[in-house]
Amino acid sequence: MAKGSATWKRVKFGEVVRLVKETCKDPVAAGVERVIGLEHLEPGDLRVRSWSYIADGTTFTTRVRPGQVLFGKRRAYQRKVAVADFDAICSGDIYVFESASPERLLPELLPFICQADAFFEHAVGTSAGSLSPRTNWSSLAEYEFALPPVEEQRRVLPMMAASTYVLQETLSLVTAAKTLLRAGLSRLFLLPTIPRRNLVTASPGWQVKSLEELADPSRPVSYGVLKPGEPVNEGVPMLRVMDFDDYGRRTDTPVLRVARAVADTSSTTYCRAGDLVVSVMATIGRTFVVPQAMDGWNMNRALALVPCREAQVARLLHAYFQSGFVQSLLSAEKIGSAQPRINLADLRTLPVPVPNALDTVLENCDRLFATLDHAERRHDQARAVVSQLRARALS
């Protein structure tokens, strides 16, 4: 145990951290120009690197001041924590924290406590809701951790700052790989820079087909279950948006099971291995190719099933959806504000370029995805080392 550890105290998060509830209904008069949404926070990155502007319109009223810590309370498994370095208004899906007593908890240490694996595990474990789970302040306030004395906090801060630099560098590598993936796929599919359907044309050696034409004609492109209801211990596994990430990889979320009678209300969306799943509500444009282990699952209404008879078709569609062109197109075509969504008719008629030399194009797609996987493995390795170092420093 570290020198002076006898004075370490076991505390609850709510004892040393304050939930800031300051509001600002006239940000222009207050001189505030920027708006921070949950989409502006990047997992693992303590800096806020993007934002929108008050002048573009906002309904948010929560005030953020420099030095305060932002924590994404919706879908806490995304691990979104950042430190504001400018005045702003933020989304209601973001909690604003500050040290309640700087003489006990240095404000500079707070973001590292919020980044701890144990804190995220607590936040995810206390989240409620199936489509868009949220944690609440009363639950977070009960999180317990060992708080070192202030002199020990000052001693470990330089190491914390250095570890942040390492993570930001590897995260920059991941960001570059994501940019390369989106742009590279758009280029592979010979897509235009302007996201409009009528600009998707057939180049030599290519055909343009609708999504529905590429799907299995014996099964319809369909929405999932409208009302999943309460989970049951024994029942049909239910696929949700949170169960896979932006690039179609399975996450470590627990399996939700519903009663067979509930799953049967959308009998056309029972998955078969090799089918493509598309997120069509709230988080729009994620795709997931159903593996053999998830054959027979159903899905909720935030997802649509695109049945595929051939593995190559599912791979092609998955890569196409990940292109910058399609992501921009779906963003432009979504309807609704509180719960944005894509109409099923628009999904079915989505134009898809199909190459004659399919194998060659798919091999190049795989290389782009592999580049991203490699960058993320580097970041994950760095994060694991940093997590261990931080845990030792604060244990």
Q: Where are the domains of the chain?
A: 11-147, 187-359
Give the residue from 106, 109, 327, 307 showing the smallest Cα distance to 221: 307
pLDDT confidence of residue 44? 80
Q: Which fold has domain 187-359?
A: Adenine-n6-DNA-methyltransferase TaqI; Chain A, domain 2 (3.90.220)
Tell whether the model's pLDDT for residue 130 goes beyond 70. Answer: no
Distance CA 294, CA 284 (A): 22
Same fold: 11-147 with 187-359: yes
**pLDDT tens-digit profile of 137-157?**
999 999 999 999 999 999 999
Give bridge partners of residue 306 from the DSSP assignment: 276
- Using alpha carbons, list the distances in angstroms from residue 376 to 175, 233, 315, 379: 9, 34, 21, 5
CA-wise closest residue to 373 among 184, 247, 185:
247
- For CA atoms 384, 387, 389, 395, give the dihedral sign: negative
Mean pLDDT over 82-104 rounds to 94
- pTM listed for this prediction: 0.71
Q: What's the pLDDT tens digit per position in 317-337?
A: 999 999 999 999 999 888 876
CATH code of 11-147, in short, is: 3.90.220.20
DSSP 151-179: HHHHHHHHHHHHHHHHHHHHHHHHHHHHH
Q: Examine the pLDDT at 2 and tell me if it is beyond 50.
A: no
Whether pLDDT at 299 is above 50: yes
Lowest mean pLDDT among 38-47, 101-110, 302-311: 38-47
What pLDDT sits at residue 317? 96
How far is residue 143's CA from residue 269's CA, in Å, rounded to a whole number? 39
Please give the Cα distance from 98 to 72 (Å, whole number).
15
Share of the chain above pLDDT 90, in %: 69
Helix (H, G, I), strand (E, B) or coil at 17: strand
By the 8 A CB rule, do 259 and 301 touch? no
Average pLDDT for the chain? 91
Reported as a single tens digit per residue, the pLDDT across 204-247 is 999 999 999 999 999 999 999 988 878 888 899 999 998 898 88
* Contact status, residue 113 vs residue 122, Cβ threshold 8 Å: no
